[in-house]
Amino acid sequence: MFDPRGSDLSADPAYLSLGSNLGERESAVLGVARTLETSGIGRCVRLSSLYETDPVGCPAMDVFINAVVEFESLLCPVDLLKRLKAMEKRMGRRGGRNEPRELDIDILTMGKTLVDTEDLVVPHPRYRERAFVLIPLRELAPRFRCPATGLGIDELIDALPERHGVVRVSGRKTIHV
């Protein structure tokens, strides 16, 4: 098992899920991609289109803007998590889990690295169940394979019970997925 406090990391691509359902949603999500590098967290390689998505776990909330960012970082997973949580707070996050929030950043994967601690699990334990993560991830990495299961992105999407509620709103014309 990988020691999450170690420093022997390669610069394998990692993926973050970004979301916001309060305030300037688009600006919050786009701001993360710009802030990764300026804050010393890593380098943004690519950002998916923005997707408007139904909330999961609390249907009374406003809809989210979500995206996935591919990035490179030499930080160990625990340090990365600390820096991302600090970024969320600086960018206005006040809400907790399953509450409306200005910004939510989740570590989806870090190359082939597997982490399972009390504070952090990588790959993210629920990303394979979320269309709002998998659909933008497929846009960036159509050959992506889950480091924990070996399943390809299309297999993960096909296994979703529902895929509705994810609408691409940036880039080209709006496309219902």
Catalytic residue numbers?
Answer: 93, 101, 104, 106
* Residue 69 contacts residue 47 (beta carbons within 8 Å): yes
SS3 state of residue 33? helix
Residues 6+ apart with CB under 8 A from 149: 128
Strand partners, 100: none
What sign does the dihedral 160-147-85-141 (CA atoms) show? negative
Query: CA-to-CA distance for 102 and 106, rounded, in angstroms?
Result: 14
Query: CA-to-CA distance for 65 and 22, rounded, in angstroms?
Result: 9
